[in-house]
Every structure is written in structure tokens, then in C-alpha cells.
Structure 1
Amino acid sequence: MEVYLIRHGIAAERGTYTNDDERPLIEKGRIKTKQVAEKLRAINLKFDLILTSPLIRAHQTAEIFQKVGLTNQIEIFESLAPDSDINKWLEWYSQFSEPNSNCKLALVGHQPDLGNWTEMLVWGTVKEQIVVKKAGIVGLNVPKIENPLGKSELFLLTSPKWLI
């Protein structure tokens, strides 16, 4: 299955909100995220499902992707919040029945988690070498097996500047 890890767009600066979970995308972040989404639509990419972190900036990113026509379905997934454990997603993934063999799943979350999850899925360990830029995308072929850690294939790692 193709799994796309997408970092939220540019958000308000840390410390500008009492509760960091409530930091929204800023105008520049909304514009860049929409440009990335439009580029993905132009190459006919469509997600069967987008799972998003519950934090507002990630959810707003997922909504922009939905408004551009990249998905019909968004679900909040608590384990995509910062400092989350990939094992909760792996448990969900093992029970997820894809609608077809060409299923495309997007996960909208945060750095360093998305970089770490990429490393776990590709290498089986965290090396702290992959950085996902804001509105950047990682594309992985994740096998539908019990434990895909270290068995996934990286086919895309791009920052938004290469998409817009």
C-alpha cells in the first residue's frame, strides 16, 4: 500500500498560543499547503483516507487537501499527535482493510515523528537523519504484513519547494 507521510503547513510561532495544540496555519502556510495539494491533484494523486493528528495545524492541512479534491475522507488519529508511538499506528494498520490493492493512505502529522516513522518503516530503527519540511511529503510502499518495520520502500521524499 502507498502511505504518504505529510507534515503540516507553516503554523503560528511556538509560544504565541497558551496551548500549543491550538496553533493554526498562518496565511503563508495555507497558501503553500494549497499549492502542494494542487500539484498532487494535477498528477492525479488521490487518497482513499487521510488520518490526521488532532492538533489544529495538522487538521487544517488535511482539510486543505480535502477541499482541493485529494480525498473524501479525513479521520482524526490521536497517535499522530507529537511524540506518539508508531506501534499504535501499526496496530491500526494491521486491522485496516484497504478498499483495493491500489489504496493510498495519507498521514498528516509532525516532525520529528514523521521522519522517525519513515526511518522505522524503511530501516527498522531511528537514525534521526530524515527531516520532513513543513508541507513536505514522504511516500512509502508499506507491505501489508504483520510487521512492516524495516521492510518498507521509500519512493518519495520532497519538500514543498520542489512541488510548487
Structure 2
Amino acid sequence: MRIYLVRHSEAVDRVPPMPDAARYLSARGRVSFREMARRFRDSGGLPTRILTSPLIRAVQTAEILSEAFRYDGDIILDPRLSPGFDVAKLGSVLDDCPSEKEIAFVGHEPDLGDILTRLLSLPQRYAMRKGDIAALDFPVSGGALPVDLAWLLTGDRRIEDPAMLAT
């Protein structure tokens, strides 16, 4: 099974009285993630299911991602992907969709970086930047760690070696 960890793109700044959950993508965030979504598609990304945090900036990121490869399914808002998402919640979500081959999870930092660090057994914590997308391959037997990094799209780079995440 392949999973994609997708950090939401750049959002507008926090300003009172707007609640954090209502923050939406900035114009620059929308433009930059459209390019990242095209790179995702060109890298072979083709999830059969997209799940997202219900926070507006994550939902908008998921929508842009789905448009890039003409996803015809529903984008599923899952409260487990809200801030506080962790490996245990990831396992719970994966248990709910055992037949899926590729699943995209759109969420937040520091959660996604922590999950990536733990699943790849990295020696130090990796922080995903806004708009980053990591593709991870789980062993067929399931539940085994570490998983394999297929690739990470960050900025204008594609990283395929987990050792490069320390640089």
C-alpha cells in the first residue's frame, strides 16, 4: 500500500477574531500548490482515496490535489486528521480502508513530520514544509516498520533517499 502525506499549503496569517480552523489558503499558497500537485501527478501519484483534515486550508489543498489528476471520488473530511493526528490515528484510518492501494492524507505540522519521522525511523525529526508531499510504501504484510520512502516532493526537489531528509 502506498500512502501520501500532504502538508497543506500556505494559509493566510492568524488574525483575531478568525479562528484557526477558518484560515484559508493564501493566493501564493494556491498558486504554489497547483505546481506541486502537477509534480505529484507527474511523479505517478494517483490515490484511490483522499482524506483531509476538516480545517479549511487542508480541504482547499485536497481540492487542488484532486483537480491535478482529475480525481473522481469524494474528498473525505476526517476529524482524525485534525491537529493531533499521529501514527495511532493513521493506523485507525488505514484499518477503515483495507482494500485501498493508494491513499492521500492532507494534514498539518508537526503531525505529518512526526509520522514521517517515526515511519521511516529517522534519527532526527523531519519537519514537512507547507505543500510538501511524501510517498511512503508499506510492506505487503502490513504493520512492519520502517516503511519505505518512495519519494518526497519539497520545494523544487524530489528526494528518494531517506538519508537526504537529514540535510
TM-score range, shorter chain: 0.7 to 0.9
C-alpha separation between the residues in 1 aligned to 2:36 and 2:70?
Answer: 11
Unaligned ranges ≥5, structure 2: 159-167
The code of the aligned residue for 1:82 comes to P
1:45 paired residue number: 45
CA distance 1:134–1:43, change in 2 (3 Å): same
Structure 1 residue 32 displacement after superposition? 0.6
2:120 paired residue number: 122
Count of residues in Structure 1 that have an aligned counterpart in Structure 2? 157
Counterpart check, 1:153 vs 2:148: yes
Of 105-114 and 34-43, more deviation after overlay is shown by 34-43
2:91 paired residue number: 90
C-alpha separation between the residues in 1 aligned to 2:17 and 2:70?
Answer: 30
Alignment of structure 1 residues 6-155 onto 2, 5 Å: 6-15=6-15, 17-69=17-69, 71-73=71-73, 74-99=75-100, 103-123=101-121, 129-145=125-141, 147-148=143-144, 150-155=145-150
Structure 1 residue 145 displacement after superposition? 4.5
Structure 1 residue 65 displacement after superposition? 1.1
Structure 1 residue 121 displacement after superposition? 1.6
Asked whether the equivalents of residues 5 and 109 of structure 1 are also in contact (C-alpha less than 8 Å), the reply is yes
The code of the aligned residue for 1:51 comes to L
CA distance 1:87–1:10, change in 2 (3 Å): same
Structure 1 residue 127 displacement after superposition? 6.2
Q: What percentage of residue pairs aligned between the two structures are identical?
A: 31
C-alpha separation between the residues in 2 aligned to 1:84 and 1:116?
Answer: 9
Structure 1 residue 71 displacement after superposition? 2.5
Counterpart check, 1:162 vs 2:163: no
Asked whether the equivalents of residues 9 and 33 of structure 1 are also in contact (C-alpha less than 8 Å), the reply is yes
Unaligned ranges ≥5, structure 1: none
CA distance 1:146–1:155, change in 2 (3 Å): closer
String of CA shifts for 1:21-78, please: whole Å, max 9, x gaps.
Answer: 0000010000011111122223442111111011000000000111222532311111
Q: TM-score, normalised by structure 1?
A: 0.84
